[in-house]
């Protein structure tokens, strides 16, 4: 069995210490549909608003432990989520601008420890949606911003996959 795609998001949400919400219960339901069946996963899937964060934090810890989903490595969890999002762009399931917005928000939330280049790409694209000029990246304009974004996605993916291979070898 393989975990559902949204597992990458769930692990990122966990390391970012975000509140538990419907995203989590939807994920738990999808995991159950995929054949995962633990007592705490069933409980999580059945939760509804208003969410008791204190109780749900403990419950989600149990669920992740039962499923042997590791989230202690913040760097790996966030980068895996970025890799997943970029892959969704390559598969035409998400648009690049939406992915850049998510990664830009994570950049800000982590005090610019992660995804600075994505932050700059987001703001360059955002400026070019409204104006002829942007001041984040040299030689980037309305005519080439989309190819610059896709080229960076490819480059980042290749570099991160190489990093994964060297750390797991």
Residue 132 confidence (pLDDT) above 70: yes
pLDDT-based confidence at residue 2 (cuts at 50, 70, 90):
low
Measure CA of the first residue to CA of the last residue in the chain; give whole Å.
24
The span from the CA of 74 to the CA of 17, in Å, is 11
The span from the CA of 89 to the CA of 119, in Å, is 17
pLDDT digits (tens, 9 = 90+) for 79-124: 999 999 999 999 999 999 999 999 999 999 999 999 999 999 999 9
């Amino acid at each position: 069995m393989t975990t559902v795609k949204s597992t990458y998001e769930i692990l990122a949400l966990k390391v970012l210490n975000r509140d538990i919400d419907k995203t989590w219960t939807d994920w738990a339901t999808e995991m159950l549909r995929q054949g995962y069946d633990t007592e705490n996963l069933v409980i999580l899937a059945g939760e509804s608003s208003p969410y008791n964060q204190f109780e749900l934090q403990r419950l989600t810890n149990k669920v992740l432990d039962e499923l042997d989903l590791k989230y202690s490595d913040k760097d790996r969890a966030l980068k895996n989520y970025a890799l997943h999002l970029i892959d969704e762009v390559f598969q035409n399931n998400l648009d690049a601008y939406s992915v850049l917005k998510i990664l830009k928000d994570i950049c800000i939330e982590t005090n610019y420890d992660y995804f600075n280049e994505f932050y700059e790409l987001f703001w360059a694209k955002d400026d070019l949606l409204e104006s002829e000029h942007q001041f984040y990246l040299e030689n980037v304009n309305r005519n080439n911003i989309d190819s610059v974004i896709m080229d960076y996605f490819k480059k980042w993916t290749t570099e991160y996959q190489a990093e994964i291979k060297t750390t797991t070898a």
